[in-house]
Chains A and B, each alone.
Chain A
């Protein structure tokens, strides 16, 4: 079973700005192996930007990302992916023109080695690889209970299912760290329960470290081991769900935001 281990990902003094607008200011926190780490905060607090810094979509002006002891001034998405960081997206970023199977198969991309010519003639290694990875993808499809839609282009799926496919694509990478950007936004209660179950199962069965952004406080408090709170790009709280819940600055930020 899962047992929270050492620090696997450490963020130190991250500052990020677009033009003159500061998105993140001097933020530091760490993520331990096998834990579920949540990032919360009001709208515009910089949560998504934080994830984008972790997997290299945005490049911070200051600070560094330390992944398993390797220091990165700037991550890039390809290196992040190679290092085992996968993510899902807040606004859906699936490949709309492709079927569910193909979407999830793209997640196996880094593990496929056949070159273009082998693929073009569909012979030897290329054909074997397609088969092997297809089997793996079918496992994920079974796990997420989306067998019935495997051939459907994702553009035609309802929102909740698309979110599942998004998760499936990330899982296909067999990540060590999984970044989830509001996996339950816009879902009804039943769908949220399903999704929570999947997240916990992933964490449990595969021991995947999870970094999660979520708005639904109930969900966050249930799922996560530790929580970081951001407000206007600054860190205002960090600790166990209970500690965060009682942090006066956090309360102020949330009350302020709700007014």
Chain B
């Protein structure tokens, strides 16, 4: 009875076009965001910040980027990690090569460079699609893996090829403590999530989804596939680039190309599929699931083994982690191919009708 929209009549199209048309949703989301900004910093210890929350925020941003491309525009990518790498290394170069470059500006510029690179590697999408396109994006992955290892200019001629950034500062606010890093990432994520939501609910988003659902029909009503696809690549890569820069600057502090390897690309795709393709909320679910699950299993399995008097070795835990992770993916895809976001909305649907079944 609590979660009902009865009596909420909309008197204008503007009210109907809101991000969360149902009042309860609006309040719940506002409360969660407020809690994330104000509540969590007081409740959480350093480990949670550094090992779970910060990676979660950054990877959620990256997953959002992948979701815009894969979930909304229907272009499969297996090279997401490469665009994170481009963002990270570009931001690094802006920061160290231009005196007085503010950190935030460097990160955003990194995003823009990634967007440009994204457009270039999106060009094959105009001609090839589906699995063949996925392979084209793999080419991007391997190329940039190589480029950042081999072209020493990108790494400021660091002999080892590893670069590092420190003394993060935003308008005089020095971002050192985990809590500051957390708030910085959270702020960026909230902003970019809002922008993404706006894009997807306006003309641009409809163009992307039209291309995804039926590209020939989209063309016939005057959507230019080239513009729609490349803009999706650009926006997606921008998000990935910013996320990559954050991953390098804020989370790792010092990194090498392996931080953005093909494993990362797969991981991001997993997040989108498990979380829910074509759903902003799904990107968050997916990122949370993938970040937390291995850590959870890692701690939970030995404990579980201990309960039944079984000592599980480190390797055993890790193997079990592989198996459970794989099994969960398979299970999810069989039970709900549209991801956690769909489960969530089905649940809401039920709640809306509760306690009356119809």
Residues of chain B contacted by A55 (CB below 8 angstroms): 220
Scan residues 194-235 of chain B and give those whose CB is less than 8 A from a CB of chain A.
Answer: 195-196, 198-199, 202-204, 206-207, 209-210, 212-214, 216-224, 231, 235
The contact of B222 among A78, A97, A126, by CB within 8 Å, is A78
In the complex, the answer to whether B199 meets A119 with C-beta atoms within 8 Å is yes
CB distance from A48 to the nearest CB of B (A): 12
- A55: nearest chain-B partner, CB-CB: B220
Report which of A95, A116, A169, A173 forms a contact with B209, defined as CB distance below 8 A. A95
Q: With the chains together, A164 CA to B98 CA distance in Å?
A: 58
In angstroms, how far is the closest chain B Cβ from the Cβ of A197?
Answer: 24
Residues of A with C-beta under 8 A to B13: 131, 134-135, 138
Does the CB pair A77–B219 fall under 8 Å? yes
Please report which residues of chain B, range 49-73, place their CB below 8 angstroms from some CB of chain A when the two chains form the complex: none
B87 in the interface, Cβ–Cβ < 8 Å? Answer: no
Kindly identify which residue among A107, A112, A114 contacts B221, using a CB–CB cutoff of 8 Å. A107
- A81 contacts B222, C-beta separation under 8 Å: yes
Inside 8 A of A169's CB, which chain B residues have their CB? Answer: 221
- CB within 8 A of A130: which of B17, B218, B222, B278? B17
Given contacts A95-B210, A96-B213, contact A119 B220 (CB under 8 A): no
Within 8 A of B (CB), among A51-110: 55, 57, 77-78, 80-82, 86-87, 89, 93-98, 102, 105-110
**Contact in complex: B199, A112 (CB < 8 Å):** no
CA distance A126 to B200 in the complex (A): 13
Complex CA distance for A106 and B213, rounded to whole angstroms: 12
B19 CB → nearest A CB, Å: 9
The DSSP consensus for interface residues of chain A is helix
Q: Which A-chain residue is minimally distant from B231 (CB atoms)? A: A116
Q: Are A106 and B202 in contact (CB under 8 A)?
A: no
Contacts of A77 in B (CB 8 A): 219-220, 222
A172, closest chain B residue (CB): B221
A109-B199 CB under 8 A given contacts A55-B220, A77-B220, A96-B213: no
Task: Given the known inter-chain contacts A95-B210, A114-B203, A119-B202, please indicate yes or no for A106 contacting B17, CB distance below 8 A.
Answer: no
- Number of contact residues on B: which range applies? 20 to 34
B residues in contact with A109, CB < 8 Å: 203, 206-207, 221-223
Using a CB-CB cutoff of 8 Å, which residues 106-134 of chain A contact chain B? 106-110, 112, 114, 116, 119-122, 126-127, 129-131, 134
Given A116-B231, A120-B195, are A95 and B204 neighbors across the interface (CB < 8 Å)? no
In the assembly, what is the distance between CA of A82 and CA of B218, in Å? 13
Max chain B C-beta neighbours (<10 A), residue from A97, A130, A131: A97
* Chain B nearest CB, measured from A196 CB (Å): 23
A97 and B209 within 8 A (CB):
yes
Q: Which of B162-215 contact A (CB under 8 A)?
A: 195-196, 198-199, 202-204, 206-207, 209-210, 212-214
Supplied contacts A97-B212, A170-B221, 15 more A-B pairs, CB within 8 Å: A77-B222, A82-B222, A94-B214, A94-B217, A97-B213, A106-B207, A106-B218, A107-B221, A109-B207, A120-B195, A120-B198, A121-B195, A122-B198, A134-B13, A134-B17
Can you name 19 A-B pairs with beta carbons within 8 Å? A57-B216, A77-B219, A77-B222, A95-B209, A96-B213, A96-B214, A97-B278, A98-B213, A102-B209, A105-B203, A109-B222, A110-B221, A114-B202, A116-B204, A119-B203, A120-B198, A130-B202, A131-B14, A170-B221
Interface residues of A (CB under 8 A from B): 55, 57, 77-78, 80-82, 86-87, 89, 93-98, 102, 105-110, 112, 114, 116, 119-122, 126-127, 129-131, 134-135, 138, 169-170, 173
Interface residues of B (CB under 8 A from A): 13-14, 17, 195-196, 198-199, 202-204, 206-207, 209-210, 212-214, 216-224, 231, 235, 278
What 3 pairs between A and B have smallest CB-CB spacing?
Answer: A81-B222, A93-B217, A95-B213
